[in-house]
Amino acid sequence: MAHNYNTDAPHKFSRTLLKPSLLALAISSCFAGMALAQEQAKDAEADVKLERIEVTARRTIENLQEVPVAVTSIGAADLAERGIATVVELQQFSPNTTLQQSRGTNSTLTAFIRGVGQEDPLWGYEPGVGIYVDDIYVARPQGAVLDILNVERIEVLRGPQGTLYGKNTIGGAVKYVTKEMSGDTEFAVNVTAGSYKQGDVKLTGQIPLIDNQLYLGFGYANLQRDGYGNFLTSALAGQDGENYNKDLQAYRFTLEYRPSDAVFIRLNYDKTEDDSNAKGGYRLLPSLLTDAPVPDSVYDSYTSMPTWNTVDTEGVGLTINWDINDNWTFKSITSQRESYSKTNIDFDNTSLDIFDVPAIYDDEQFTQEF
């Protein structure tokens, strides 16, 4: 586009003068706009602030962002949203963490953190990852595959924790923290149905015995499911021995007493009865001794022993917490636990009666910490 200018036309200049009152109004409007923008920015910043997550990684309540320990903390809401049913599923959300069910039973835990753990679930192999339920140490992995029941959060502490947690925590620690009672009468039912005739029922609740002082809580879980696979050995086929089913019941009773704002006392009892059949062995290569081919399903097995097993765990714990003042707290943790596990282990996973080990684990523990 061409522009034509007439050089002979007289040039005119104009200017606009603002009165002092109008100038002051414009300046004040400018500052008001800036103040409004700053206020909106503050509101937006407040909306995106991270939620304060409290953990007890160092034996005291602290903000997760201020704890100089590698910690993964998953609360009850996240556990429910992600469908986490047992402790072993936490390895999906914690780096450098392996939590798996051991051979022979569904309730025995094999835990590794940063490559350090327990090579074998026997007494001769001390665990490298400590398991804690409300600060009570679980000395043996039998029964340590805990189902999520009335839990507030689960913390995974990565790296050596011996300074505050003692021996057997050189790899780290897994802390199962249950909910404290709110003081109201509550009752909840959770029912789950699924394939393979899965039927899970969980009941939890609490009752105030003395308002603002004494509360009784309870939890019960009944978890049932048919086996995923079959025994292919003729000697076991057709018998009442499903391969890898689930038959578990768990109980928990809690008594909490608050005589004052500074004193908290909790007495709890828990029991787990697991009669599930563990997963039978699956061979990656055909057996040269029996000419048995590789099963079509990883849940089918040629094992010569049925995978029947029993895991019974039971324990009583007493926790006393006294806030002496703003700087000092006294805490006592007393626990008595016992466990009995009977399991069958077929190391060769063939129909031959060789390398078959019926194993029994029986142990008791007493711990006292101040």
Sign (positive/negative) of CA torsion 100, 248, 312, 297? negative
pLDDT along the chain (370 residues), means of 10: 43 44 49 57 54 79 84 89 87 91 80 90 82 90 80 92 89 91 90 94 93 92 90 65 84 94 95 87 80 83 82 94 94 94 84 84 92
Per-residue pLDDT at 210: 92
Per-residue pLDDT at 359: 84
Q: Are residues 211 and 221 in contact, defined by beta-carbon separation less than 8 angstroms? A: no
Domain assignments of the chain as residue spans, ordered by start = 54-369
Per-residue pLDDT at 64: 83
Q: Which residues contact 145 (CB under 8 A, 6 or more apart)?
A: 86, 87, 88, 101, 106, 107, 108, 109
Q: Are residues 301 and 231 in contact, defined by beta-carbon separation less than 8 angstroms? A: yes
Per-residue pLDDT at 278: 81
Query: For 117, left (φ over 0), alpha (ψ -120 to 50), or beta?
Result: beta
Domain 54-369 is in which class? mainly beta
Q: How many CB atoms lie within 10 A of CB 66?
A: 8
Cα 353 from Cα 265, distance rounded (Å): 53
